[in-house]
Copies of this chain bind each other. A is one copy, B any other.
Amino acid sequence: MRSDFSPSGQRASTFTEEARRAQIIQCAIDTIADVGYVRASLAEIAKRAGISKGVISYHFAGKDELIERVVDHIYQRGAEQLTPLLKRQPTVAATLRTYITGNIDFIRDHPREVAVLTDIFTNYRTADGKLRYGVHTDEPLLAPLRQLFEAGQRSGEFREFAPAAMARFLRTAIDSAAPQILAFPDFDPDAYARELVALFELATRKESSSPR
């Protein structure tokens, strides 16, 4: 590992360094998607990348760092796609709709990445045996949703319900799309998103207008 300077004061890297890291991260994602996190050994990842196992150790501190870079990588792609979408919604209800469709769109386009994330979340444990990303770490994902629901209740758009529970319902429903896309070739993510939007609109709205 180098320790050069760069103008920004950040750790510097060769072009090859960055390219290799990106390649290894991508191969790790592919490998985990195919054989699961548990069986995605450094040897297997290296084989798919066509490189020696030692190269991974050279560019990453260890398997743990590689996995955390994989998580960062996927999370960032999701945030990049979703954040700008959500900012421009006028009402809480519209934000909720966009949240659902935007998430399902992302999962539709990157089902393997999302499946890899959940695989890592449910399996990657620290040395003491505890889950590195457990239910606790959902908080950054859940908090904005909860706040959205609370905002909707304050503004009178939404009925009274437990925002924390509703946030959890929505996240689990969204996350269940990825494995279905991968398992069922004829699964229709867009139809799924429409069902989800309808469900949460009925479940959150305050006044009930007549159906249809």
Top-9 shortest CB links A-B:
A208-B208, A135-B183, A165-B195, A172-B172, A172-B176, A199-B203, A135-B179, A169-B173, A202-B203
Q: Which residues of B contact A192 (CB under 8 A)?
A: 165
Compute how far the CA of A107 lies from the CA of B122 in the bound complex, rounded to whole angstroms.
19
Q: Which residues of A contact B (CB under 8 A)?
A: 34-36, 38-39, 119, 122-123, 125, 129, 131, 134-136, 159, 161-162, 165-166, 168-169, 172-173, 175-176, 179-180, 182-184, 191-192, 195-196, 198-199, 202-203, 206-211
Q: A161-B199, A195-B162 are in contact. Are A208 and B206 (CB under 8 A)?
A: no
Q: A135-B179, A162-B195, A180-B135 are in contact. Are A129 and B35 (CB under 8 A)?
A: yes
Closest chain B residue to A175 by CB distance? B172
A63 CB to closest chain B CB (Å) equals 14
Q: Which residues of B contact A210 (CB under 8 A)?
A: 208
List 14 other contacts, CB 8 Å, given A36-B125, A135-B182, A198-B203.
A34-B129, A38-B125, A39-B125, A165-B192, A165-B195, A165-B196, A166-B199, A168-B180, A169-B173, A169-B195, A172-B172, A172-B175, A173-B173, A208-B210
Looking at chain A's contact residues, is the secondary structure mostly helix, strand, loop, or mixed?
helix
A37 CB to closest chain B CB (Å) equals 9
Q: Which residues of B contact A123 (CB under 8 A)?
A: 36, 38, 122-123
Q: Which residues of B contact A195 (CB under 8 A)?
A: 161-162, 165-166, 169
Compute how far the CA of A195 lies from the CA of B165 in the bound complex, rounded to whole angstroms.
7
